[in-house]
Amino acid sequence: MKKIRFERAGLDVSNMCLGTMMMGTQIDEKTSMAELDLFVDMGGTFIDTSNNYAHWMPGATGDESEVLIGKWLKEKGGRDKIVLASKVGYDRHGEHQGLKASQIEYWCDESLRKLNTDYLDLYYAHVDDFNTPLEETMEAFDKLVKKGKVKALGVSNYYTWRICEAKHIAKANGFTDFTVNQPQYSFLYTKAGRDSSTPLNLNVSEERLDYLKANNMPMVTYSCLASGGYDDEKRLPDKYVKDGRWDLLQDTAKELGLAPSSLVLAWLMNSDKLPERPTIVPLVASSRLEHLKKNLEMSEYELDVELMKKLCYTKF
Domains of the chain: 3-313 (3.20.20.100)
Label the pairing between strands 3-6 and 11-14.
antiparallel
On the CB side of 241, how many CA atoms lie within 13 Å of its CA?
Answer: 15
d(CA 62, CA 113): 14
Q: Which residues of 205-222 are buried (b: 16+ CB within 10 A; e: fewer)?
A: eeebbebbbebebbbbbb
75-78 own/partner pairs: CB under 8 Å, 24+ apart:
76/36, 76/37, 76/40, 78/40
Burial environment of residue 29 by CB neighbours within 10 A (0 to 12, 13 to 18, 19 or more) = middle
Instruction: Let me know: does 49 contact 20? Beta carbons within 8 Å.
Output: yes
Helices and strands: H and E segment counts in the chain:
10, 10
Q: Which amino acid is at 311?
A: L
Residue ranges of alpha helices (H) inside 50-130 are 64-76, 101-115
Name the DSSP class of 190. B
CA angle centred on 237, ends 231 and 241, rounded to 5°: 90
d(CA 3, CA 16): 9
d(CA 123, CA 168): 19
d(CA 155, CA 70): 23
Residue 197 is predicted with a pLDDT of: 62
Instruction: Let me know: does 280 contact 221? Beta carbons within 8 Å.
Output: yes
Successive 10-residue mean pLDDT values, the chain, 316 residues: 97 98 97 98 98 96 98 96 97 93 98 98 97 98 98 96 97 98 94 65 85 97 95 93 96 98 98 96 96 97 97 93
Q: Which amino acid is at 1?
A: M
Instruction: Let me know: does 269 contact 308? Beta carbons within 8 Å.
Output: no
What does pTM read for this prediction? Answer: 0.96
Residue 191 is predicted with a pLDDT of: 83
Detail the DSSP E strand segments found in 190-279: 219-221
Residue 198 is predicted with a pLDDT of: 62
